[in-house]
């Protein structure tokens, strides 16, 4: 071997040196690459999914930056991060929990998603300012700052996240306002929202054409609109209940302005918002300060500055925010040169939220404009709208989707083609009655599905009162015609000389579809309020151009249109002063019908409540109930002293001929936060009591008050009560969640308030909620029934044997559910035969026997009725000696580390104090016997 030949050791050393050099070089390259990524604002991609991350984010509160509030947020991350992010806002009265299902869908598409509870809702602090730029919008801007610091979020540059914003209703307006104020927003998709909150809540759908002019011809003469009191009241109620954990003023500074201090409880609202609502609710008019507030919080104030591509999704069944609101947004944003796509879908505040296919289109919009995820189809900017047909025998509503090249009237495209249908009818004198009552019935807020079901049975709930209505009709149609947009007509309005007059008229115009059998269907279940001012006292007419509600509705051959103009409507505030108006047709005496030309691009069907068999009986019962609610004069006297007490029963009796009284002279009380167990042997009168509480049985005597309101059948206060009494009937061919949706629709309340995702999560149904009920076990049906009772998270929950069909783990879960439910300040009344569960779950019990009250009180007091108590201590002998020093104490026994004592009327707290003073450590105190023992003794059944 030559001296220069490499040895094995030299070769190995050489290889190790080369390896070290290679590793060093790779390390340098890695550092350079990582530095470049950090410099460019990107983060290393993470491929392992993580659970959602909860946080309370501190944000500066209001314009002064001198206080902070906390926003409750959840960050959802996809498998690969960083990723473009969606800021997902909720509707009014909701919380981040309402958007959890949509967040999971977007995460599956590859987006990072941030959901949050807006100020004043959920666990977030602060006061509700109605999307004020200095409050809710500023909060959202600070959330964008927070997002830019999170490793799961892709960034365009330092401090600038790649972000899209979407939300429904209140959340949809937030997306528009945020995009108009913060250029970091890259794309938005507002759903079912508004452009002008003033026009939405105080609409006026008329413009002057002729007559004594006080404003320019053809312009609006709305010194104030017509107050939409039914919807506004529901919205105000959703935010006016103070949270139990809220600090005074929500931790926010007062925002009072020169507006008069409000006279009603503001709950979570700012003083300014509360004063504005108080003013309009009491007077029906909006002063300048209120109008300025509504303008400030309306997206119309920023639409000219929105540069983010915008997808507008609006419901065709929406008496809160109609198609006119989306139309204004589309035109204003498009005029700023921003790409806009508009979709009208067969839903809305009166018809439900977007379904899976439409939510997929929203995700496609974000994917296309944000990038960074699987793009899917190019959404383009074509205009699409749904045409809903008549309900079929199988309970489904066929839906066709029509697509046009672009939204009419924007981007240089032609406006909607119109067809003029001649109207006939003579001028008619109509009366506005004193006090504005009785009032015409046209719609119920949020009850579009109920009204549709009623219409399918030929039972229209719309009622135009004689003497208050002028009617004009078209001839029967010779061919089909599609209404898609806002019909228009012209009216002549005048005072009647010699009759009462206020110099102005509040009127309500609406269109009916009348078939050959004279069945009338109120199109869209919507009306157009008009406020016509400056009516000359000599009877000279004023002509007005009337914009009727925007709708999508097919008119069949042989049908005709009927234009009705009324002086009252129960959903709006009407003048209290009596007046007589003369209503006639003006101009060419036609109604102009818009009809968008397009191609049918898809056909689908959506399920609805079956209208055959038992469904017809249920529908008729529902209709009778709704009509009784509308027609019944309010006899609901309120006791203000009990307004915060969920339930007070006084002297309640239910008797039948030739039978012993089922319930006799029963008096009980349920306070907030209590879980009250209703106990008694079979035949004690428990179920009869529950049925009377819910208005299902009429008591023979006595009184029931819910939250201070005297209970009568169908009383509005029952909307604050959820109940499971006996077994509810579910439709077996529908899924669990669909059963819940139709049940909630039948209540007539907005779908946004149902909290479907939350109650399904509470009930623990999981994926089974989307399976047909016919495949459910008894336990699953019981959990679905409990979810139905919890819809809307009522303030009082009444459950009759809720654990029927549940296995032990599910019973344990139900115990925790009820505890958490009561911990929020709500109350629960539960009837159960499982005494051990009642003892572990309930805070208080009511014991009945033979229809009478035996006893009521806390569980601890009931089980310790004989004065026996047990103490777990470290020194039992020392403890026993200390207890015997209490004067009048009964027998004391030692059992291991337990000491049993007959307190003989002394409170347990007295005994604990004696033990502590004696140096004895007390680990546990409780009654010696079980609730079952006490129950059997109380009802005289111990021998059995």
∠606-611-615 over CA atoms, to 5°? 115
Residue 350 has pLDDT above 60, yes or no: yes
Residue 70 has pLDDT above 90, yes or no: yes
Residue 15 neighbours by CB distance under 10 Å: 10
Residue 365 has pLDDT above 90, yes or no: yes
Instruction: Give the residue carrying structure tokens 């009642």.
Output: 838
- Give CA–CA dist 96/74, Å, rounded: 8
pLDDT average, residue stretch 916-921:
87
pLDDT average, residue stretch 860-887:
79
Question: Which residues touch 393 (CB under 8 Å, ≥6 apart)?
Answer: 611, 612
Helices (H) and strands (E) in the chain, counts: 22, 41
Distances (CA, A) of 57 to 116, 119, 190: 10, 11, 24
Q: Give the pLDDT score at 326.
A: 95
C-alpha torsion 125→129→130→133, nearest 10: -100
Residue 784 in contact with residue 808, Cβ under 8 Å?
no
∠448-452-453 over CA atoms, to 5°? 120
Q: Give the pLDDT score at 762.
A: 75
Q: Give the pLDDT score at 102.
A: 95
Pick the range with the lowest mean pLDDT from 23-32, 410-419, 454-463. Answer: 23-32
Pick the range with the lowest mean pLDDT from 240-254, 329-343, 480-494, 822-836. Answer: 240-254
Q: Give the pLDDT score at 864.
A: 57
pLDDT average, residue stretch 734-747:
86
Written as one string, the DSSP assignment of 149-206 is T-TTB-EEETTEE-EEEEEETHHHHHHHHHHHH-TTEEEEEEES--S-HHHHHS---E
Residue 869 in contact with residue 903, Cβ under 8 Å?
yes
Q: Give the pLDDT score at 396.
A: 58
Residue 73: strand pairing partners: 55, 116
Residue 630 has pLDDT above 60, yes or no: no
Q: Which value, in Å, is the radius of gyration of the alpha carbons in the chain?
A: 33
Distances (CA, A) of 343 to 223, 355, 389: 33, 13, 18
pLDDT in tens, 643-663: 889 999 999 999 888 788 889
What topology does CATH give the domain 418-595? Jelly Rolls (2.60.120)
Pick the range with the lowest mean pLDDT from 241-250, 547-556, 822-831, 853-862. Answer: 241-250
Pick the range with the lowest mean pLDDT from 17-26, 145-154, 632-641, 858-867. Answer: 17-26
Containing 767, the helix (H) or strand (E) segment is none
pLDDT in tens, 487-529: 999 999 999 999 988 899 999 999 999 998 888 889 988 999 9
- CA 425 to chain CA centroid, nearest Å: 42
Containing 771, the helix (H) or strand (E) segment is none
Q: Give the pLDDT score at 593.
A: 93
Residue 936 neighbours by CB distance under 10 Å: 16
* Phi, psi values for residue 779, rounded to 5°: -65, -40
pLDDT average, residue stretch 895-914:
81
Q: Give the pLDDT score at 704.
A: 92
Q: Give the pLDDT score at 866.
A: 52
pLDDT average, residue stretch 99-120:
95
May I ask the CATH class of domain 867-928?
alpha beta
Q: Give the pLDDT score at 228.
A: 92
**Which regions of the chain carry the CATH code 3.40.50.300?**
634-859
pLDDT average, residue stretch 540-549:
94
- CA 267 to chain CA centroid, nearest Å: 17
Residue 2 has pLDDT above 70, yes or no: no
pLDDT average, residue stretch 230-242:
78
**Per-residue tokens: 625:** 């109930």
Residue 392 has pLDDT above 80, yes or no: no
Residue 72 has pLDDT above 80, yes or no: yes
pLDDT average, residue stretch 818-837:
80
> Which has more pLDDT, 766 or 537?
537
* Phi, psi values for residue 914, rounded to 5°: -65, -40
Q: How confident is the model at residue 265 (pLDDT cuts 50, 70, 90)?
A: low
Pick the range with the lowest mean pLDDT from 137-151, 331-345, 670-684, 918-932. Answer: 918-932
- Give CA–CA dist 455/451, Å, rounded: 6
Q: Give the pLDDT score at 935.
A: 59
Question: Which residues touch 46 (CB under 8 Å, ≥6 apart)?
Answer: 77, 80, 81, 82, 151, 152
Q: Is 17 helix (H, G, I), strand (E, B) or coil?
A: helix
Residue 483 has pLDDT above 80, yes or no: yes
Q: Give the pLDDT score at 543.
A: 94
The per-residue b/e assignment along 347-367, b for 16 or more CB within 10 angstroms, e otherwise, is bbbbbbbbeeebbebbbbbbb
Residue 687 has pLDDT above 50, yes or no: yes
Q: How confident is the model at residue 342 (pLDDT cuts 50, 70, 90)?
A: very high
pLDDT average, residue stretch 201-213:
74
The per-residue b/e assignment along 585-594, b for 16 or more CB within 10 angstroms, e otherwise, is bbeebbbbbb
Q: How confident is the model at residue 867 (pLDDT cuts 50, 70, 90)?
A: low
pLDDT average, residue stretch 895-910:
80
Query: What whole-number percentage of the chain has pLDDT above 70?
Result: 80
pLDDT in tens, 605-622: 444 433 333 333 344 444
Return mean pLDDT, the chain: 81
C-alpha torsion 280→286→292→295, nearest 10: 80
Q: Give the pLDDT score at 631.
A: 42
**Which regions of the chain carry the CATH code 3.30.70.100?**
867-928
**Which regions of the chain carry the CATH code 3.40.50.1820?**
53-196+301-404
- CA 83 to chain CA centroid, nearest Å: 30
pLDDT average, residue stretch 279-291:
90
Residue 233 in contact with residue 226, Cβ under 8 Å?
no
Q: How confident is the model at residue 449 (pLDDT cuts 50, 70, 90)?
A: low
pLDDT average, residue stretch 390-416:
69
**Per residue, what are the HEC states of 75-112?**
EECCCCECECEEEEECCCCCCHHHHHHHHHHHHHCCCE
Residue 695 has pLDDT above 80, yes or no: yes
Is the backbone of residue 490 left (phi > 0), alpha (psi -120 to 50) or beta? beta
Q: Give the pLDDT score at 750.
A: 77
Q: Is 217 exposed, middle or buried (0-12, 13-18, 19+ CB in 10 A)?
A: exposed
Peptide bond into 799 cis (omega under 30): no
**Per-residue tokens: 746:** 């039948």
Q: Looking at domain 53-196+301-404, what is its CATH homologous superfamily?
A: Alpha/Beta hydrolase fold, catalytic domain (3.40.50.1820)
Residue 810 neighbours by CB distance under 10 Å: 18
What topology does CATH give the domain 634-859? Rossmann fold (3.40.50)
**Per-residue tokens: 197:** 């909150």
Residue 175 has pLDDT above 90, yes or no: yes
Query: What whole-number percentage of the chain has pLDDT above 90?
Result: 40
* Phi, psi values for residue 489, rounded to 5°: -150, 175
pLDDT average, residue stretch 16-44:
42
Residue 205 has pLDDT above 80, yes or no: yes
Residue 308 has pLDDT above 90, yes or no: yes
**Which regions of the chain carry the CATH code 2.60.120.260?**
418-595
Which DSSP category does 377 fall into?
Answer: S
Q: Give the pLDDT score at 252.
A: 39
Residue 730: strand pairing partners: none
Q: Considering Cα of 631, then 635, then 640, then 643, what sign does the dihedral take? A: negative
Contacts 24+ apart (CB under 8 A), 857-863: 859/677, 859/931, 860/908, 860/926, 860/927, 862/931, 862/934, 862/938, 863/839, 863/927, 863/929, 863/930, 863/931, 863/933, 863/934
Q: How confident is the model at residue 451 (pLDDT cuts 50, 70, 90)?
A: low
- Give CA–CA dist 456/499, Å, rounded: 41
- Taking alpha carbons only, the member of 437, 526, 463, 533 closest to residue 494 is 533
Instruction: Give the residue carrying structure tokens 């999971």.
Output: 104
> Which has more pLDDT, 283 or 581?
581
Q: Give the pLDDT score at 390.
A: 64
Q: Give the pLDDT score at 25.
A: 45
Pick the range with the lowest mean pLDDT from 301-310, 471-480, 785-794. Answer: 785-794
Q: Is 285 helix (H, G, I), strand (E, B) or coil?
A: coil
């Amino acid at each position: 071997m030559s001296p220069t030949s490499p040895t094995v050791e030299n070769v190995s050393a050489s290889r190790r040196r080369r390896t070290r050099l290679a590793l060093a070089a790779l390390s340098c390259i890695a550092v350079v690459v990582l530095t470049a990524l950090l410099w460019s604002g990107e983060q290393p991609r993470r491929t392992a999914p993580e659970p959602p991350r909860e946080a309370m984010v501190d944000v500066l509160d209001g314009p002064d930056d001198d206080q902070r509030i906390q926003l409750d947020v959840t960050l959802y991350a996809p498998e690969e991060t960083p990723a473009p992010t969606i800021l997902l806002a909720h509707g009014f009265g909701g919380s981040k929990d309402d958007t959890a299902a949509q967040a999971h869908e977007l995460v599956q598409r590859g987006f990072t998603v941030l959901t949050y509870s807006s100020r004043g809702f959920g666990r977030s602090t602060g006061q509700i300012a109605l999307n004020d730029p200095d409050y809710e919008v500023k909060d959202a801007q600070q959330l964008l700052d927070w997002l830019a610091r999170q490793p799961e979020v892709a960034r365009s540059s330092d401090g600038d996240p790649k972000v899209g914003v979407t939300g429904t209703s209140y959340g949809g307006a937030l997306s528009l306002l945020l995009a108009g104020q913060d250029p970091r927003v890259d794309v938005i998709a507002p759903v079912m929202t508004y452009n002008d909150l003033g026009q939405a809540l105080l609409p006026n759908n008329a413009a002057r054409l002729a007559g004594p002019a006080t404003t320019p011809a053809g312009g609006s003469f709305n010194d104030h609109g017509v107050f939409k009191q039914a919807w506004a009241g529901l919205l105000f109620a959703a935010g006016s209940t103070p949270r139990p954990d809220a600090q005074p003023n929500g931790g926010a500074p007062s925002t009072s302005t020169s507006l008069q201090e409000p006279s009603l409880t503001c709950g979570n609202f700012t003083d300014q918002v509360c004063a504005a609502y108080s003013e309009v609710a009491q007077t029906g008019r909006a002063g300048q300060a209120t109008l300025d507030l509504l303008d400030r919080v309306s997206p119309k104030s920023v639409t000219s500055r929105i540069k983010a591509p915008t997808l507008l999704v609006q419901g065709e069944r929406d008496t809160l925010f109609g198609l006119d609101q989306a139309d204004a947004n589309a035109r204003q944003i498009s005029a700023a040169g921003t790409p806009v796509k508009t979709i009208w879908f067969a839903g809305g505040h009166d018809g439900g939220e977007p379904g899976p296919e439409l939510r997929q289109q929203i995700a496609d919009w974000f994917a296309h404009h944000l990038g960074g995820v699987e793009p899917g189809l190019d959404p383009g900017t074509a205009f699409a709208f749904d045409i809903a047909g008549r309900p079929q025998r199988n309970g489904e509503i066929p839906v066709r989707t029509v697509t046009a090249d672009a939204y009419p009237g924007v981007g240089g495209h032609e406006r909607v083609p119109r067809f003029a249908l001649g109207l006939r009818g003579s001028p008619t004198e109509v009366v506005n009655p004193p006090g504005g009552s009785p009032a015409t019935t046209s719609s119920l807020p949020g009850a579009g599905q109920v009204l549709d079901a009623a219409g399918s049975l030929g039972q229209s709930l719309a009622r135009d009162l004689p003497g208050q209505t002028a009617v004009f009709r078209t001839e029967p149609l010779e061919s089909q015609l599609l209404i898609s947009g806002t019909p228009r007509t012209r009216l002549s309005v005048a005072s009647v000389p010699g009759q009462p007059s206020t110099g102005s008229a509040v009127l309500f115009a609406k269109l009916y579809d009348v078939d050959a059998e004279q069945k009338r269907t109120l199109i869209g279940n919507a009306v157009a309020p008009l406020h016509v001012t400056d009516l000359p006292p000599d009877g000279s007419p004023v002509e007005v151009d009337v914009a009727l509600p925007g709708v999508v509705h097919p008119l069949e051959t042989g049908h005709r249109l009927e234009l009705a103009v009324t002086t009252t409507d129960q959903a709006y505030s009407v003048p209290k002063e009596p007046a007589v108006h003369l209503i006639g047709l003006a101009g060419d005496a036609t109604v102009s019908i818009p009809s968008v030309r397009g191609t049918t691009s898809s056909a689908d069907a959506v399920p609805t409540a079956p209208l055959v068999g038992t469904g017809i009986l249920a529908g008729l019962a529902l209709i009778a109930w709704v009509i009784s609610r509308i027609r019944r004069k309010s006899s609901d006297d309120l006791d203000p002293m009990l307004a915060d007490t969920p339930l007070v029963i006084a002297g309640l009796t239910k008797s039948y001929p030739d039978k012993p009284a089922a319930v006799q002279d029963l008096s009980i009380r349920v306070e907030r936060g209590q879980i009250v167990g209703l106990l008694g042997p079979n035949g004690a009168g428990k179920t009869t009591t529950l049925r009377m509480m819910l208005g299902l049985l009429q008591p023979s005597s006595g009184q029931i008050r819910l939250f201070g309101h005297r209970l009568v059948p169908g009383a509005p206060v029952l909307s604050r009560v959820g109940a499971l009494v006996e077994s509810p009937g579910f439709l077996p061919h529908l899924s669990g969640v669909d059963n819940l949706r139709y049940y909630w629709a039948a209540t007539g309340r907005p779908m946004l308030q149902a909290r479907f995702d939350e109650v399904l999560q509470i009930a623990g149904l999981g994926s089974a909620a989307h399976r047909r009920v016919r495949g459910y076990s008894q336990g699953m049906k019981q959990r679905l029934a409990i979810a139905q009772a919890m819809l809307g998270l009522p303030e009082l929950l009444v459950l009759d044997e809720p654990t029927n069909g549940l296995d032990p783990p599910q019973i344990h879960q139900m115990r925790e559910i009820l505890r958490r439910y009561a911990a929020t300040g709500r109350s629960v009344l539960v009837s159960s035969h499982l005494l051990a569960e009642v003892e572990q779950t309930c805070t208080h019990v009511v014991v009945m026997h033979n229809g009478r009250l035996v006893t009521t009180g806390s569980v601890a007091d009931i089980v310790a009725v004989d004065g026996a108590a047990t103490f777990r201590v470290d020194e039992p002998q020392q403890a026993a000696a200390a207890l015997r020093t209490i004067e009048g104490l009964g027998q004391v026994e030692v059992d291991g580390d337990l000491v049993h004592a007959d307190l003989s009327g002394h409170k347990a707290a007295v005994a604990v104090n004696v033990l502590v003073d004696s140096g004895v450590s007390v680990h546990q105190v409780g009654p010696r016997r079980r609730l079952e023992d006490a129950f059997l003794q109380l009802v005289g059944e111990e021998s059995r």
